[in-house]
Structure 1
Amino acid sequence: MPGTDFVVAIPARYAASRLPGKPLRLLGGEPLVLHVARRALEAGAREAWVATDDARIAEALADSGVRIAMTSPDHASGTDRLAECAAIAGWSDDTVVVNLQGDEPFAPAEGIRAVAEALVDSAAPMSTLAAPIEDVETLFDPNAVKLVRAGNGDALYFSRAPIPWPRDAFARDRGTLPSGGHWLRHIGIYGYRAGFLPRFAAMPPATLERIESLEQLRVLEAGHRIAVRLSPAPFPPGVDTPEDLDRAERHLAALRAGG
């Protein structure tokens, strides 16, 4: 949608249990977080901000064209950090903010734009993306978050369990994915109205969120809408481990070689 005006905020915490110092790990000779910020700008974001609690990350992004929000080291979640970033940036309440994770160096520009467009088109306070599930292993994988939508495209529920459950088909065979295309995997990119961020951050953790360990369920349980759009392009896996970083290095080399 030409003309969609949005900003991107990238939470970047130095401490990461599986990959310490992750935002500054080098990919193609440059910090991982810089690759992510470039994807945001390439997608057409008016501004790209990195919300961090570590001066080393700010220093690594100097002269990159990316703006820095130095946020508290005490935030419990990326949403809390994003809310403080919105306050530092001075965005108006209706500003469309895309939350792009700092470990997504290959996030497609079309997908970043799509989550912003979904927010604008729906008038919901929050939006996200999904992709069809194409194999039964993904459906049963608790690390792959599933979701179901209402007829208007809003999220009804997110779960680590296989939803919806095809009762009759799985009574016969759980080893293959039934036909019908009803299954969606959640993609962890979000759009928000800036004015909703402090409200979200102020909500106490909800029962469903605690059960599933999914923060977005806090929003649904509080009665707010989350608009969901199918991603127009695949999102390659993010970088969480040293093995992921090696894979990303090979992928980047192939891209640069035109492969």
Structure 2
Amino acid sequence: MKKIALIPARYGASRFPGKMMAKLGDKTVILRTYESTVNTGVFDEVMVVTDSDIIFREIVDNGGKAVMSKKEHECGTDRIAEAMELLDYDIVVNVQGDEPFTQKEPLEKLLRVFEGEEGKKVQVASLMQVLTEQQSIEDPNYVKVAVDKNFNALFFSRSVIPYPRAKDVKTIYYEHIGIYAFRKDTLMNFTKLEPTPLELAEKIECLRYLENGIPMKMVVTEYMGVEIDTPEDLEKAAKLL
């Protein structure tokens, strides 16, 4: 299978404007994300897809690959789909631009679900990790996911799911990590689907798949990185660095 990682990156962000160009150590967040994705060595190609001249120049001037998206997009998946129209790859991985600690092992596990006979049934897959801190479980900036016994996603929410009404039952909480892997046809078809009610309410784009009856395979990882959504997240990332 030919595999490509596309990193959607826009300069404007409602919770943290300009976060892609924020400094994390001696490099910007977007450059660290690009370099860490390349360094995993699991892709035939890695490319940033952006609507920003500033981000484009940041990548290209540092020896990386980037393309400008031509259209306004509501979500990163729509942005990478535009770029994929002219690219020939079997599997496309959407690595969020605010994931500067992208690692090899989680991506290998994610790509592995597309292999073999069972893998032929998988159209789209994503990562999740166990949440243990109550503050994070209750934080709406942490997207939670509930899964069935085969690790297919049942629902994504910024609320606490599942709700622990039964206090004598051990409840496991999973945080959705915004890294997706698609078959190319699935990605291209996504752009033909209108935004859905739950997606618009929660501001979680992958709900569009579930609302259209498209299963999403979830893969557990011990990723434990930092997704930078807020200035506070940038401080956490600096400490981790």
TM range (shorter): 0.7 to 0.9
2:99 pairs, out of 104, 108, 115, with 104
Task: Kindly indicate whether residue 213 of structure 2 is the aligned counterpart of residue 215 of structure 1.
Answer: no
1:11 pairs, out of 8, 11, 30, with 8
> 1:189-219: CA deviations, max 9, x gaps?
1111122112112211112223333211110
Q: Given that residues 3 and 91 in structure 2 are in contact (C-alpha distance below 8 angstroms), is that contact kept between their aligned partners in structure 1?
A: yes
Aligned residues, how many? Answer: 237
Change (3 A) 1:143 1:195: same
Shift of 1:51: 0.2
SS in 1 for 2:85: helix
Shift of 1:34: 1.5
Unpaired segments of 5 or more residues in structure 1? 170-177, 253-259
Larger Rg: 1
Change (3 A) 1:5 1:247: same
Q: Given that residues 147 and 184 in structure 1 are in contact (C-alpha distance below 8 angstroms), is that contact kept between their aligned partners in structure 2?
A: yes
Task: Kindly indicate whether residue 192 of structure 2 is the aligned counterpart of residue 197 of structure 1.
Answer: no
> 1:10-52: CA deviations, max 9, x gaps?
0111223344333233333223211111111122221111001
Q: Which stretch shows the higher mean deviation, 180-189 or 124-133?
A: 180-189
**Equivalent residue for 1:236?**
225
Q: Given that residues 11 and 55 in structure 2 are in contact (C-alpha distance below 8 angstroms), is that contact kept between their aligned partners in structure 1?
A: yes
Q: Aligned equivalents of 1:112 and 1:65: distance in 2?
A: 23
TM-score, with length taken from structure 1: 0.81
Q: Aligned equivalents of 1:210 and 1:56: distance in 2?
A: 29
List, as ranges, runs of 4+ consecutive aligned residues in structure 1 with deviation greater than 6 Å.
none
> 1:156-188: CA deviations, max 9, x gaps?
22223333334332xxxxxxxx55353322222
Task: Kindly indicate whether residue 33 of structure 2 is the aligned counterpart of residue 36 of structure 1.
Answer: yes
Change (3 A) 1:179 1:134: farther
Task: Kindly indicate whether residue 84 of structure 2 is the aligned counterpart of residue 86 of structure 1.
Answer: yes
Q: Aligned equivalents of 1:208 and 1:12: distance in 2?
A: 24
Unpaired segments of 5 or more residues in structure 2? none
TM-score, with length taken from structure 2: 0.86
Q: Aligned equivalents of 2:146 and 2:189: distance in 1?
A: 24
Change (3 A) 1:48 1:164: same
Change (3 A) 1:60 1:161: closer
Q: Given that residues 40 and 112 in structure 1 are in contact (C-alpha distance below 8 angstroms), is that contact kept between their aligned partners in structure 2?
A: no
Q: Aligned equivalents of 1:164 and 1:67: distance in 2?
A: 41
Q: Aligned equivalents of 2:59 and 2:140: distance in 1?
A: 35
Q: Given that residues 98 and 190 in structure 1 are in contact (C-alpha distance below 8 angstroms), is that contact kept between their aligned partners in structure 2?
A: yes
Q: Given that residues 141 and 229 in structure 2 are in contact (C-alpha distance below 8 angstroms), is that contact kept between their aligned partners in structure 1?
A: no
Identity of aligned residues (%): 35
Q: Aligned equivalents of 2:44 and 2:198: distance in 1?
A: 35
2:122 pairs, out of 121, 124, 127, with 124
1:225 pairs, out of 174, 195, 215, with 215
Task: Kindly indicate whether residue 186 of structure 2 is the aligned counterpart of residue 188 of structure 1.
Answer: no
Q: Aligned equivalents of 2:51 and 2:227: distance in 1?
A: 21
SS in 1 for 2:213: coil
* Aligned CA-pair RMSD: 2.3
Q: Aligned equivalents of 1:110 and 1:251: distance in 2?
A: 18
Counterpart AA for 1:53: D
Q: Given that residues 75 and 205 in structure 2 are in contact (C-alpha distance below 8 angstroms), is that contact kept between their aligned partners in structure 1?
A: no
Shift of 1:148: 1.9
Task: Kindly indicate whether residue 142 of structure 2 is the aligned counterpart of residue 144 of structure 1.
Answer: yes
